[in-house]
Amino acid sequence: DVKVTQSSRYLVKRTGEKVFLECVQDMDHENMFWYRQDPGLGLRLIYFSYDVKMKEKGDIPEGYSVSREKKERFSLILESASTNQTSMYLCASSFGLLASQETQYFGPGTRLLVL
């Protein structure tokens, strides 16, 4: 079974803090993704990566950055957390060269509260 793990299930941070969300997958998948999920807005893609050290902006990259130094690990960074970044963050991974044509497998999510 594919396993995608996220470093924290719940996080509480203060405005202005730098926040790191970590994601690890154990299936040697090329592609990794970060989404946020908000009521009424569904899943929105923040960033994705199709290879080590490669990244592509998604639909809502502002206020976020990412890092992929190893194939199995994809980090989401909030440089200076703001209250409008309070959300559920979901990491996903998929196999293959054409990421949109492959099943994405999700982690359990990190619920972030920014005060």
Partner 1 sequence: GESVGLHLPTLSVQEGDNSIINCAYSNSASDYFIWYKQESGKGPQFIIDIRSNMDKRQGQRVTVLLNKTVKHLSLQIAATQPGDSAVYFCAVDGSGNTGKLIFGQGTTLQVKP
Interacting residues with partner 1 (CB under 8 A): 4, 31, 40-43, 45, 48, 50, 56, 58, 90, 92, 98-109
* Nearest Cα residue to 66 out of 48, 89, 50: 48
Q: Measure Cα distances from 11 to 49, 69, 87, 92, 104 in Å.
A: 24, 23, 10, 19, 24
| Minimum CB–partner distance for residue 110 and partner 1 (Å) | 10
Q: Which two tokens stand for residue 95?
A: 């196999």
**Residue 54 or 115 with smaller CB distance to partner 1:** 54
Give the residue with the Cβ less far from partner 1, 38 or 79: 38
Tokens at 78, concatenated:
């909030």
Nearer to partner 1, 17 or 86 (CB): 86
Least distance in Å: CB of 15 to partner 1? 25
Nearer to partner 1, 68 or 109 (CB): 109
Question: Which residue, 3, 35, 7, 41, is CA-closest to 21?
Answer: 7
**Alpha carbons 80 and 64: distance in angstroms, whole number:** 9
Least separation in angstroms between residue 47's CB and partner 1 is 10
